[in-house]
Chain A
Amino acid sequence: MRPQDRDLTRRTFLRAGTLALAALAAGTHTPLEAAAPLAREGDPDPLTGIIEPARKVVRAHFGDRPIRAGHVTMDTPETAPDGRQVPIFIDTDLPQTSTEYVKALHLIVDHNPDIYLAGYWLTPATGGASIDTRIKMRRSSYVRVIAETNRGELWGTAKFVYVTLNGCV
């Protein structure tokens, strides 16, 4: 059976779980659809623990524009056994309509040779902004995602991923 044929996919499970936790945290019984956005207080600063080379890359791409925490989640293992294949699942709760949409998702890995690992450029026609992929990591490092909207707002998150077997091959 293919994952997409199931009613409950990993994607919907993650989304529902996050929303349920948010609702619990808020102490309310609001239906899931009306629950709080994915981002909550205590979200990591998108630039937490950043090293200078990575800061330069961020500055080259975004200048001095503020990068705020929220609206973006990244699901990846805290410890990746194989640095050649690190699963990364990026999701946002930002609207994807003809007037308001996520223009790009930027993936940054501080300690990789290519710090700016990938850019995913989207349009309203995608109907959402999420990416599931596999990346290489040279060593344990912060992984950062920055979502750029068509209005130029920047939202991000960061997570430190431990790598057991280094994988830039």
Chain B
Amino acid sequence: MTPTIGDPRIVLPQQIKRDAVIFVRAMLAHPMYTGMSRDHDGTLIPEYFVKKVTVTYGGAEIAHFEWTSGVSADPYIEFPVRATREAPLAIAWTDSKGHVYRQSANVAFSA
């Protein structure tokens, strides 16, 4: 069975006020194999996981996360960002095969 990989998602709050700290939720479909599990034939599944996550806001890096295969499959994360301006918030997930999954969402202030 081939796992689903990709489908990066970012969820921002619906109402954002200027200078408020918002909580960004991000998800990616990824098997996060540790290299220690076996498939149904007993063959070891090689390790394959997301190693690095980079968060940019208006083009400037504001956070990055270093992961191991100890992060759960289909990794989910929620983290704070201070909404200082209307700009895109972009996340790039890089896995151990060098594939990069990107998603971005626009921080826009509610009237």
Contacts and interface: CB of A to CB of B under 8 A. Distances in A.
Interface of A: 2, 4-5, 9, 11, 84-86, 96, 109, 112-114, 116-123, 125-136, 168-169
Given A4-B14, A125-B60, A127-B82, A133 B77 contact: yes
Given A121-B64, A128-B21, A84 B72 contact: yes
A122 to B, nearest CB: 5
Chain A interface, DSSP helix/strand/loop, else mixed: mixed
Given A2-B14, A133-B76, A133-B77, A119 B82 contact: no
Chain B interface, DSSP helix/strand/loop, else mixed: strand
A113 B65 CA distance: 19
Interface of B: 11, 13-15, 21-23, 25, 32, 34, 36-37, 57, 60-73, 75-82, 84
A42 B10 CA distance: 38
Contacts of A123: 61-63
A118 B81 contact: no
Contacts of B70: 109, 112-114, 117-118, 135-136, 168
A139 to B, nearest CB: 13
Contact of B57 (A96, A109, A119, A125): A125
A120 B34 contact: no
B13 A126 contact: no
10 contacts: A4-B13, A113-B36, A114-B69, A117-B71, A118-B65, A118-B68, A122-B79, A130-B80, A132-B77, A168-B70
Given A113-B36, A119-B65, A121-B65, A133 B71 contact: yes
B49 to A, nearest CB: 10
Contacts of B11: 2, 4
Contacts of A5: 13-15
A31 B93 CA distance: 42
Most chain B Cβ neighbours within 10 Å, of A5, A9, A86, A134 = A134
